[in-house]
Structure 1
Amino acid sequence: MLARLTLTDFRNHPALDLAPGPGFVCLHGANGAGKTNILEAVSMLAPGRGLRGSALSEMARSNGPGGWSVSAALGDGTVLGTGTLATAPERRIVRINSASAAVNSLAEWLAVLWLTPAMDRLFSGPAGDRRRFLDRLVLALEPGHAHHASRYEAAMRARNKLLAEPEGADPEWLSALEAGMAEHGEALGAARARTVEALGQQLAATPEDLFARPAIVLDQPTHADLAARLRANRGRDAGAGRATEGPHRQDLAVTHAAKAQPAARCSTGEQKALLLGLVLAHAALVTHRRGAAPILLLDEVAAHLDPGRRAALFGRLEGRGQVWMTATEAALFDGVGEATMVHVA
């Protein structure tokens, strides 16, 4: 859990110092007050660009000095910090107990998961959105996943650039890049497959309630001979301007188990329920695997739930670690039990 959260010049907050308790942390206030900005700050204590996926420079306060910082003391006394300097607005700095650290090392200290209104159409949107969602689930279970993802992407970008050279690409350089893509790509695909299998088992063991049960499958498993396939596809990939095979084309296929219907064809309410079911089952899996619950960030999660489903959600979240939620009205948290209630104005 976070025992203390401190923000400086982050989004609309010149300064914020918050001491949340364990369990529920409920942020309520008017639209535009900065509730989601606080959740985004917490999400920056994990690798990646946070729950909005914004550029680092966009997180700096308007009319502020240009840089920003987020710092958190964990329950065990560890202090995590991240931010940017005004002189390098797109270069992220990470410190753990005041010592410089790599961004990906944050995953070893915290698992952070989130749901935002923008994710409500995850199942009917592009495959890239579901792939990024899946990678966030994998990262919470296997912190090393971020390393393989970044190395694979770097090798793929270099290969695409090399294939686009008009005078022709150096075959030996291409082979080296393809070997890197194969090494890290196979690790990526294997980690995704492990997570999907374990999560599927967790979903099958989840008791029935008011939330629809999803069934999941990893589409397009990674080929074991990826390097050979990349080498054979050089001509096609040069014409396409991209790699046409590899784990960057995988997708997470989700269906409504009771209806045997693809999630993309379900109603908006059913899709939200399926997404909640996935995240809650994954949180239980992370707690079992890591011995510590992930931090959950749920933005406006109760706004479109009827009272029965809202109560069922709070019941499933009870005792699941630190859960941060936002709402425009405090009344939407009725029935949540003991919580840190924060009015954001």
Structure 2
Amino acid sequence: MTSLYLSSLTLSHFRSHKRAVVELDARPVAIHGPNGAGKTNLIEAVSLFSPGRGMRRASAREMTRRPEALGWKVSGLLLGPDGPHDIDFRSDEGAARDVRIDGKPAPQTALGRAARVLWLVPSMDRLWIEAPEGRRRFLDRMALSFFPDHAEATLGYEKAMRERNRLLKDQIRDAHWYAALEGQMAQAGAALQQNRKDTLARLSQAQEGAETAFPVADLELISTEADIPASAADLAEALAESRFRDMAAGRTLVGPHRADLFGTFAAKGVPASDCSTGEQKALLISLILANARALAEDVGAPPILLLDEIAAHLDSARRAALYDEICALRAQAWMTGTGAELFADLGTRAQYLEVTERDGQSFVEKTS
């Protein structure tokens, strides 16, 4: 199995980093430094190598370094099964992010074919007890890792739904307007829903027989409203039948945007939402690892992993087990923690970056 990794990363006026240049190999990357030094900003830059708005879902304007606000640039050399790719992102004075792959302008969706990037950040710790939107987003990120066209299906569905919702709020009753938009929603929505189901099947398969210190999660796709039609034709029919009810509500009440991800701690038969905080975290890590194993089988290389403050939330035994699993996967995992001692179990299996802050500016130094 080959590796997928960033061999170099350059940041210019990105968040707290005025200038940072890092040369890397395929080993895990242990990033340590005090709180507020800019560790998370560094891995947020790596998250841009995946389609979407990055792990913080920030706008291009929010990523620029203050107070200069001159715009920013992130670039890197990605090595993987498809060969090397020079990828860079830039935003000039708050403009929308521009993506270039090997010197040529490229759409966001092209990133999904060049790289697979998964992340787990502290804000996701409440995934099992927050609103369904967060779980849908989590599931769609996993689906995107398997199906690069999932982003197009999601965007197409959401765009058509916004237009339909506008008609509903304006009390428009012309069936022809609705039929066109519902046809678009039905085609994109059926693809979106099928990708989600296939993703859950891949995760289930990847968890079967895996020897791991992290618990297995049984996952089910449910709906907050009613069963979501599987085919495009059935979904179009359901949308048409729901028009008057939707008009009263002022929004679309049927479709894959009403789906929810239900998780169960398999060994205990307990819903994830009822598990302890530690168990909920362990279930999340288990899913990220299952996602990574499945991708490694599918594309011949493990994804890049971004694990923010992961070491602080695990006891020493599970921390060591996580490091062993990452190394067995041969994944370039970017992990952050406040002290280098949190990564002691990795030893020479990892490379180390120290991030410090002086006068409002972050500095990155490779220590080994």
Give the match for residue 212 of structure 1. 215
Q: Secondary structure at the match of 1:53?
A: coil
Give the match for residue 300 of structure 1. 309
Residue number among 192, 199, 202 corresponding to 1:195 in the alignment:
199
Does residue 1:342 correspond to 2:342, yes or no?
no
Q: Secondary structure at the match of 2:180?
A: helix
Give the match for residue 108 of structure 2. 103
CA distance in 1, matches of 2:174, 2:106: 35
The Cα offsets for residues 157-181 of structure 1, whole Å up to 9 and x where unpaired, read as: 0110112224x24321210000000
Aligned length: 341
CA distance in 2, matches of 1:79, 1:159: 40
CA distance in 2, matches of 1:240, 1:292: 47
Deviation at 1:213, TM superposition (A): 1.5
Give the match for residue 326 of structure 1. 336
Deviation at 1:74, TM superposition (A): 1.2
Q: Secondary structure at the match of 2:305?
A: strand
CA 1:243/1:90 → structure 2, altered by over 3 Å: closer, same or farther? farther
Whether the 8 Å contact between 2:43 and 2:334 is mirrored in structure 1 is yes
CA distance in 2, matches of 1:159, 1:90: 28
Give the match for residue 91 of structure 1. 96
Q: Secondary structure at the match of 1:215?
A: strand
CA distance in 1, matches of 2:91, 2:180: 34
Does residue 1:119 correspond to 2:124, yes or no?
yes
One-letter amino acid of the structure 2 residue matched with residue 46 of structure 1: S
Residue number among 166, 169, 174 corresponding to 1:164 in the alignment:
169
One-letter amino acid of the structure 2 residue matched with residue 259 of structure 1: K
Whether the 8 Å contact between 1:69 and 1:82 is mirrored in structure 2 is yes
Give the match for residue 59 of structure 1. 63
Whether the 8 Å contact between 1:213 and 1:256 is mirrored in structure 2 is yes
Whether the 8 Å contact between 1:28 and 1:327 is mirrored in structure 2 is yes
Whether the 8 Å contact between 2:88 and 2:101 is mirrored in structure 1 is yes
The Cα offsets for residues 191-244 of structure 1, whole Å up to 9 and x where unpaired, read as: 10001011112112212x432221111113630201111111111111212110
The Cα offsets for residues 297-343 of structure 1, whole Å up to 9 and x where unpaired, read as: 00010112111111111111113221100000000001113211011
Deviation at 1:90, TM superposition (A): 4.7
Whether the 8 Å contact between 1:23 and 1:319 is mirrored in structure 2 is no
With 217-226 and 70-79 compared, the bigger mean Cα shift is at 217-226
RMSD: 1.2
Detail structure 1 runs of 4+ shifted over 2 Å in the superposition.
none
Whether the 8 Å contact between 2:169 and 2:251 is mirrored in structure 1 is no
Give the match for residue 319 of structure 2. 310
Deviation at 1:139, TM superposition (A): 0.7
Residue number among 10, 13, 18 corresponding to 2:22 in the alignment:
18
CA distance in 2, matches of 1:212, 1:319: 18
Q: TM-score of the superposition, structure 2-length normalised?
A: 0.90
Q: Quick one: percent identity of the two aligned structures?
A: 44
The correspondence of residues 250-261 of structure 1 with structure 2, limited to 5 A, is 250-261=259-270
With 74-83 and 171-180 compared, the bigger mean Cα shift is at 74-83
Whether the 8 Å contact between 1:55 and 1:90 is mirrored in structure 2 is no
CA distance in 2, matches of 1:283, 1:16: 28
Give the match for residue 284 of structure 2. 275
Q: Give unpaired runs (5+ residues) of structure 2.
A: 357-368
Give the match for residue 247 of structure 1. 256
One-letter amino acid of the structure 1 residue matched with residue 355 of structure 2: V
CA 1:129/1:90 → structure 2, altered by over 3 Å: closer, same or farther? farther
CA distance in 2, matches of 1:188, 1:90: 30
Does residue 1:232 correspond to 2:232, yes or no?
no
Deviation at 1:72, TM superposition (A): 0.9
With 195-204 and 128-137 compared, the bigger mean Cα shift is at 195-204
CA 1:69/1:169 → structure 2, altered by over 3 Å: closer, same or farther? farther
Deviation at 1:65, TM superposition (A): 3.5
CA distance in 2, matches of 1:182, 1:93: 31
CA distance in 2, matches of 1:177, 1:317: 44
CA distance in 2, matches of 1:106, 1:268: 34
